Amino acid sequence: MSLFIRQNDERSKLQERLAAELQERAKQRALLQDQPDGVDDSRYIEGTKRTTSLAWVWVVIAIVVVVAFVGLVILNVARTA
């Protein structure tokens, strides 16, 4: 019975040590969160501009091209059949 109690004591010490290590890691990670996120703060953003209000025109043009291509493929398949 004494061995069982001794094992529990050692385990609790191990758990306390692990808990202390995990708390230290959490503190270190909290300090790292104050650093830049690497997206909005990056230098590669410099010299770029936001999408203009005419971006929808390019989307419409792309859709028209895809629809025209599909239409030509369907017409070509219908003629050969």
Summarised one tens digit per residue, pLDDT across range 38-78 is 665 677 777 888 888 889 999 999 999 999 999 999 999 98
Do 24 and 42 belong together in one domain?
yes
Do 8 and 40 belong together in one domain?
yes
Do 20 and 59 belong together in one domain?
no
Flag whether the pTM goes above 0.75: no
Overall domain count for the chain: 2
Full residue range of the structural domain in which residue 73 is found: 54-81
Band (15; pLDDT cuts 50, 70, 90): confident
Looking at residue 75, its pLDDT comes to 94
Do 33 and 64 belong together in one domain?
no
Q: Residue 38 gets which letter from DSSP? A: S
Do 63 and 38 belong together in one domain?
no
CA distances from 60 to 56, 64, 67, 69, 72 (A): 6, 6, 11, 14, 18
Do 73 and 43 belong together in one domain?
no
Do 44 and 58 belong together in one domain?
no
> Distance between CA 52 and CA 68 in Å, rounded?
26
SS3 (DSSP) at 13 = helix
Contact 42, 36 (CB under 8 A): yes
> Distance between CA 21 and CA 27 in Å, rounded?
10
